[in-house]
Chains A and B, each alone.
Chain A
Amino acid sequence: MARLHLPHSLTARVLSAVMLILILGGCLVALSIWANGRLAARQAYDRLLLGAANDIAESVRIQDGEPFVDLPVSAFQLLAQAPDDRIFYAVQVPGGPFITGLDRDTVIEVPQQPGTAPFYFTADLNGESARFVRVARLFAEREFSGEVEVLVGQTLRARQMMTAGLMRDALLPMAVAGVLLLIMSWFVTRSALRPLEALSDDLTRRDPHDLTPMASDGLPRELQVMLTAMNRFMGRLDRQVDTMRNLIADTAHQLRTPVAAIRVQAEIAQDDPEPPARARALDRLLRRTRSLGTLLDQLLSRAMVIHRIDSAPRRPVDLREVALDVLEQSDHELVAPGVEVRLEIGETPVLVNADAFSLGEAAKNLLGNALRHGDPPVSIGATQEGNSAILWVRDHGPGPATPIADHIGDRFNRTTRSGEDSSGLGLSIVKSTAEAFDGTVEMARDETGFRAALSFPATRGIE
């Protein structure tokens, strides 16, 4: 199958489509005009034919027992309305004697038709196609009784000329209108496509590093949709570039202090000849190294979470499973060995639309905080409260001081209590996760302890 080759310019495409429509429409209209014109010409000249035939039939009289025609000139003047057409006429008794006519030798085959009503037919007249009418007149005289048949025929030249004239009169304005429409559609197309041109000009001129949103004011709705999508895409790109930049800066910033500390401890261990002092330095070195590992884990985890927030598809996640997974990974035993962690989950799934990995990381951080800063026993769980699906961690301590709670999630929000093995990144992960999935971080304190929770809009499960 040959593929229609479409021109590349949108204007050319629209114009060729318009032209195609105009031509097709024009053909259809021309066809209908031709059919109508033909019908009109046929009816007009058929009436003349019938009028002439009736005139002649009227003039038939019975004279000395024979039909006699006093041929009326008016009938022929009527027929001469088609001035260039040849005429045939005959008056005869059907199957009987010829009364009068143009030429006794020219015989026209009359189709058989019942009744005496006038009827039209088309036949050949001396080598030219012609239209005929047959009119019958009935006589019931003493001397003559029966039917007299009048045949009148005429060639088709006047009809064809009338059809052609009607066609010409109708087609000429139509052709002019078609050309005007084409010109108009050119202008309309150009003006409709002008915003698109302006947009592409804008894009071409733009700085390659400029990822700020483009102005969509005054643009057609269709283009605004496109532009919004593009702006969203640029925004995501911008955020990711930012994230990357932050990650690199954070990593460098975060690693500088511990690495310097490790170097100092290592130098002390190397320089101090005293075995107890050396053992102490080595012990500090080990702790610093472990803390550095945790820091790296958190940095990676945060980068991963922020990356996934923008890119990972959202799926229904059961918060109970998230809580279970966190518990089973048993990372808490490294942070606080010997502390018992309880799992509190119900029978029904608690579903949210989110990314399981990010939720897991956030939960891990909340649990880590509770173990590190709170008092045992610590419990983790997922519940549905109204329209909110909640993933929570609870301990029996007093919770953080209010100012800290207000600033949670800011990067490097380190306090005196956070100590050397905390980077303050944990709550930042929690906050980012909550915001990414339309949720909030809730901190609540009561007489029995402190609860940190991630609250999301609940999703109905997909059965």
Chain B
Amino acid sequence: MTFDLKIDEPHPDHRADGLAQGVLGHESDRPDGWLKVAGAATYAAEEQADDMLHGFLVRAPKIGAVTCPNLDAVRAMDGVRSVLRDPRMIRNAAQGTANEAPVQGVDRAAYVGQPVALVVAATFEQARHAAQALVVSVEEDDVPVLPDTVTPEEPEDQNTRIGDLDRAMSEAAFKVDAIYTTPSMVSAAMEPHAATAHWDGETLTLRGSLQMLKFNRNELADSVGLDPKHVRVLAPYVGGGFGSKLGISADCVAAALAAMELGQPVRVVQHRRHVFEVNTRRSETRQHIRLAADAEGRLTGLGHEALVSNLPEEEFAEPVIQGSHFAYAASNRHLGMKVARIHRPAAGSVRAPGESVGVTAFEVAMDELALSAEVDPVELRLRNIPETDPESGKPFSSHRLEAALRQGADAFGWSRRHAAPRQQREGEWWIGTGMAAAFRVNMVIEAEARITLTHDGATIRSDMTDIGTGSYAIFGQIAAELLGLPLSQIDVQLGDTRFPPGSGSGGSFGAASTGTAVWLAGMEIRQQIADRLGCAEAELTLKDGVATVANQRTTLHDLLSDETIEGHGHVKPGDAFEKVRQATFGAHFAEVAVSDVTGEVRVRRMLGSFAAGRILNPRTARSQCHGGMTWGIGMALTEELTHDRRDGHAVNRDLAGYHLPVNADVPPLDVHFVEELDDWAGPMQAKGIGELGICGAGASILNAIYNACGARVRDMPATPDRVLAAMPL
């Protein structure tokens, strides 16, 4: 049996509020937490085997046709077992949900840094040294690497024109017409991409650092030429993904091919410098934003046109304008995308693709409009909240932006702010505040999960991953709540393609998708218990291992004896996405200090106010928001992957050169959750929270910089030199 659900209709029955165990929606530890802190969680590179071989990827130093003239000499080096130049090796990581092999081949490098060989040796050190000794000769192709030097593609389905924006601009009482840019950025997860592969002659078993296993298995199988049923992928622990581990990565395919060739387990760990090249970066963007408003600051026109880039044959284009389709009302609209085909490393999903950079730039433009219209920035957003989806006219499933704005403003103390810039100073430091709205589409992905209940407790299984987000914790909470068990009696097993296929982690959809599958599995078990007790499921109270119906109490032990009950949940997205516009909303507030001498910016405090449906575990949800807001600091102030202008290569490809915010850059972050139950989000009324915190966060900082010192920075990140250049002197 399976409890299936296709989300076609709202779920106004808030069952989670009537359950007895009292764990769902409450703070809860992560069961994997101590394992990780103690080093007891086995990550992909940590699997041990006596006969393990070690592979090291070799990068192309230039773009063009590749040959390796000293292959034989390298094969003869100490410890070297093989130098693979296999045409099945992949050019770059697969895009999320690709479900098939990405572009393959080693004879022609499409970008500097493309893996063109794998050196396998008895030790890691031997493999690395031999990899460095391998000469990679390139007959160079003359290809473009700068986005503004090519005629970009303009996908027509990415072009929305409603009304007459040019006319709205010419008739506007107030307007903004400006260009904003964001640089390439990378996920830079703490755990580098890594894989260990085993081949027993029939089945390939790969332990990887991956986010979406059901897709990754097919991508790996397709890459190496195996039937997916002979491929097993494990990723029980993942040290951060942020989109960079959505698709199968070069280390996985190379490790698999080497294991299949050599008949021994092979480990391939990406060097930190590989991580910046061979996976996917967030595309740089150039965004032309136009806003037309009437005398009260109500938008009459809205334009958002973006130029992004990617390698040839990559379908992904950073969906910069995704949030602008529904964020604000305006009857004249022009939204469009252009994609430059250039030969920088591949672009793909990085935390909140689209809104992370799109909302951030747009919310800076909104701040500029607020200043010119002399309307308070919070009030400006409130005046432009649409009644229905501004393009399709569909109703919103739930829309709590107003509450997020008002509650956030109150909690932050927004009313004490100076509206004009350059009003507050402490020594050489200008002090200012800024805000931005947050928008993020909400998605559900097909997912399955199984729960097995015995008198000892319950085990949840799904190939879903926990990439540091708290999947283990919240699935345990959902099952504990439904089955009336203490958390200590719940075992959550994830990250194995032998388990039912979950959603995978990405796009903020993990908790609501696989979580709903767990919910359905739990419901199926509740139904079976109710059947045994001869009552309706809704009459059943399950708490602390005891089933109560009316006044009759039955322990789980008595009910099950040595039997096992199974529940299998299966959720699919349905017509809800046709009927309503569903999204998550929020508001960011920031206070900064800007040095009048150096242009250095210090964020002094931030507050985020977020509405994402039912919050399943405030601790893990808050942690997601902290992470997103910290990314916002990076986007606003420090992060930029620099490309060499001659060959496009990633110049600052390590954690010393690519400036993620460090502890000293991150002030106390305050997270406030707006109460919301979105009935269209499924039986738990929960939406995704993993990405909302980054969307617009950087804009609140950039707007605060302007409020502090009058420097309007439109090219991110706002490094000291850019702030100084923009500062009125």
A, B co-complexed: no
- Taking Cβ atoms with an 8 Å cutoff, the residues of A that contact B are none
- Taking Cβ atoms with an 8 Å cutoff, the residues of B that contact A are none
